[in-house]
Amino acid sequence: MRSAQSEVVRARWVLPIAEPPVEDGFVEIDNGRIVSVGPWTERGTLDRTVTNLGDAVLMPGLVNAHTHLELSWMAGRVPPKSAMDEWIRELMTVRRIGHEGGPEAISKAAVDAAIAMVESGTVLVGDISNTLITPGLIAASGLRGVVFHELIGFAATDPERIVREAGHRLEEHRTLPLELGVVAHAPYSVSADLIGAIARAPRTTPLAIHLGESAEEMEFIATGQGPIRRTLEHLGVWNDAWPVPGCDPAEYVDRLGYLQPGTLVVHGVHFGPAAIGRLKDRGAVLVSCPRSNRWVGSGAPPLAAYYRAGVPVAFGTDSLASAPTLNLFDELAEARRIAPEVPASLLVDSATRRGAVALGLGAEYGTIEPGKRAALIAVRLRGPSGRFGETDVPASAETSVEEYLVSGNVRAPQDVRLIRPR
């Protein structure tokens, strides 16, 4: 099982995720894989290189299950709004005008953002891409995960051909160490026929869709009216043949076959018990991005209700157009703020194991268990003075180490380190 090159990493806390936190724990790594994990006192007679991280938490790298790296150049260009349709109109204007530095500047911003993600402890990403400029730069940054090639088209004709062509565009990226799939943007920007065609197409990744994000979307799917209807008309893509669903967006895309086991439902801000129950029944996953929801003026997701209903929850940051950072620890702090009743251990579980499973990569990532990849991070614990190594925090496992991680204490890049096996 282990070679002479295996190494041992020791830390004040080890978070296997699959088991409760271990105080003064160790992880043995060999050839990039986890061999064993447990309390330091049970390390046996390991005659291995030992790295002692001291006052740190050793844990699986984080999973950012929803971002749009290709929009990174928009950081700070689309200010927060009080209603989502205003925010989207401004985003579309900024995108149409483009970056004064051209495609190079857009790529550079995406590269910088991917590097910042790695430096804040993210190892897996679910990245949404319309343009497909991101797969190569994601792979080069060291991130792994899924690139979702997202289609938009409310007036689309010949949906089967559109899906086929999107699949062909992915071919040139197949040599990268990433998973690739075709998905729909949202129920108000993609025609019913195209959503159905995407749902039916063969794939190796989960489906994803922005759903239940705003009050305007709820109104549009229920009645065919409101600000979204006016925007579609203004853009010249309103389709009179579009059958008004007359229900909530979850029921609508379910009718189209899109709510499948593992479908990533991104946002779900405006869903009540019926839609949440439908997600649970279909085996869908909620990907929550609460800072983005606040930024675009769509409100706060009912996170606790999803956890109570047993819907798997993962977290994403969304793009730098609607979030100040791509640091998932910052997202967890917002989740903690809006859902104080959800145990910190569940929030951390969502940001690691649940996220990895959501991206279809749970067999390799998300927990510290023998056989999995050693895609681990160390988070330094900061004492009340703000200095490292003040050993009075955290005091006990449940109330402290996980609570510490979700309470806005973790600053990146200074507090986070990637564990790179030798």
Residue 318 or residue 331: which is nearer to Zn ion going by CB?
A: 318
Structure tokens at 222: 């229920």
Residue 298 or residue 345: which is nearer to Zn ion going by CB?
A: 298
Q: Are 239 and 155 in contact, with CB atoms under 8 Å apart?
A: yes
Closest distance of CB 210 from Zn ion, Å: 6
For 129, the 3-state DSSP assignment is strand
Closest distance of CB 212 from Zn ion, Å: 13
Residue 318 or residue 330: which is nearer to Zn ion going by CB?
A: 318
Residue 318 or residue 402: which is nearer to Zn ion going by CB?
A: 318
Residue 43 or residue 89: which is nearer to Zn ion going by CB?
A: 89
Closest distance of CB 318 from Zn ion, Å: 5
Closest distance of CB 154 from Zn ion, Å: 17
The distance in angstroms from the start CA to the end CA of the chain is 17
CA distances from 184 to 50, 153, 273, 282 (A): 47, 9, 24, 18
Which residues have a Cβ under 8 Å from the Cβ of 219 and sit 6 or more positions away?
A: 225, 226, 228
Q: Distance between CA 367 and CA 376 in Å, rounded?
A: 9
Closest distance of CB 204 from Zn ion, Å: 22
Residue 6 or residue 327: which is nearer to Zn ion going by CB?
A: 327
Closest distance of CB 185 from Zn ion, Å: 8
For 388, the 3-state DSSP assignment is strand
Residue 179 or residue 318: which is nearer to Zn ion going by CB?
A: 318
Residue 209 or residue 215: which is nearer to Zn ion going by CB?
A: 209
Which residues have a Cβ under 8 Å from the Cβ of 10 and sit 6 or more positions away?
A: 24, 25, 26, 40, 50, 51, 52, 53
Closest distance of CB 158 from Zn ion, Å: 26
Q: Dump strand ranges (E) for 250-360.
A: 264-267, 285-288, 313-315
Structure tokens at 141: 């940054």
Q: What angle do CA 66, 183, 116 make, to 5 degrees?
A: 25
Closest distance of CB 247 from Zn ion, Å: 23
Closest distance of CB 196 from Zn ion, Å: 21
Closest distance of CB 73 from Zn ion, Å: 16
Q: Distance between CA 174 and CA 183 in Å, rounded?
A: 17
Q: Environment class of residue 310 by beta-carbon count within 10 Å: exposed (0-12), middle (13-18) or buried (19+)?
A: exposed
Residue linked to tokens 């994403």: 316
Q: Which residue number places its CB atom closest to Zn ion?
A: 318
Residue 64 or residue 120: which is nearer to Zn ion going by CB?
A: 64
Of 120, 167, 112, the closest CA to residue 140 belongs to 112
Peptide bond between residue 384 and the one before it cis (omega within 30 degrees of 0): no
Residue 120 or residue 288: which is nearer to Zn ion going by CB?
A: 288
Q: Which residues bind Zn ion (CB under 5 A)?
A: 318
Structure tokens at 261: 């086991």
Of 268, 323, 265, the closest CA to residue 291 belongs to 323
Which residues have a Cβ under 8 Å from the Cβ of 398 and sit 6 or more positions away?
A: 20, 343, 344, 345
Q: Distance between CA 7 and CA 28 in Å, rounded?
A: 6
